[in-house]
Amino acid sequence: QFMQQPREEHWNAAIRIVRYLKGSPGQGILLKSTSDFQLHGWCDSDWAGCPLTRRSTTGWFVFLGHSPISWKTKKQHTVSDSSAEAEYRSMATTCCELKWLRSLLVDLGISHKESMHLHCDSQAALHIAKNPVFHERRKHIEVDCHFIRNEILQGTIQPSYVPTQEQLADILTKALRHQFQTLLNKLGICNLHAPP
């Protein structure tokens, strides 16, 4: 975003990232052999987080059993009118990733008959997804996001509420200081060179 005209604060942010990476060379993801093949998605957004464009950022993790296998952070394409809309868009993006990973598992010969779990910390977004009569909060949301409701009705996706303090995707959308190490541990990220 700032490659054409970088400023000193961008340089300082880049140096901070390099210091973090240099200070944790053994950090990695341990894929556990005891994991099952159940897919779990965790999604979050920061509403109007970009100070320049006021667009929200979507962040999500997908776990296969207890191991993270897919994650992404990306600015949403449009400006959201509410935090519920931003969270709902985040749910829709995560739902697309879950469906793609499920089809990949089927291609690899692994049947996946159970519903995929989608964890969200916005009760308003969950109500929009489950209740088609929730008119006031959904009339401005683009039609392409509403396919998540069909996935819920078909039983492909099972959305559930998770408290904000336990939301794993917060690490991708918010600047966390106190929760950072706790969330890393919950994500299965550890020092691979440390003794077990």
Domains of the chain: 40-189 (3.30.420.10)
pLDDT of residue 196: 66
pLDDT of residue 127: 85
Owner of token pair 């977004």: 125
pLDDT of residue 134: 54
Distance CA 173, CA 58 (A): 7
Q: What is the pTM of this model?
A: 0.81
CA angle 124, 73, 110 (to 5 degrees): 90
Helices (H), the chain: 8-23, 83-107, 123-130, 135-138, 147-154, 170-173, 180-186
What is the DSSP code (8-state) at residue 159? Answer: E
pLDDT under 50 in the chain at which residues? none
pLDDT of residue 139: 57
pLDDT of residue 138: 56
pLDDT of residue 144: 60
pLDDT of residue 131: 75
What CA–CA distances, in Å, run from 100 to 144, 145, 163?
A: 17, 16, 27
pLDDT of residue 171: 80
pLDDT of residue 6: 85
* Per-residue exposure over 45-57, b if at least 16 CB sit within 10 Å of its own CB, e if not: bbbbbeeeeebbb
Q: Is 26 exposed, middle or buried (0-12, 13-18, 19+ CB in 10 A)?
A: exposed
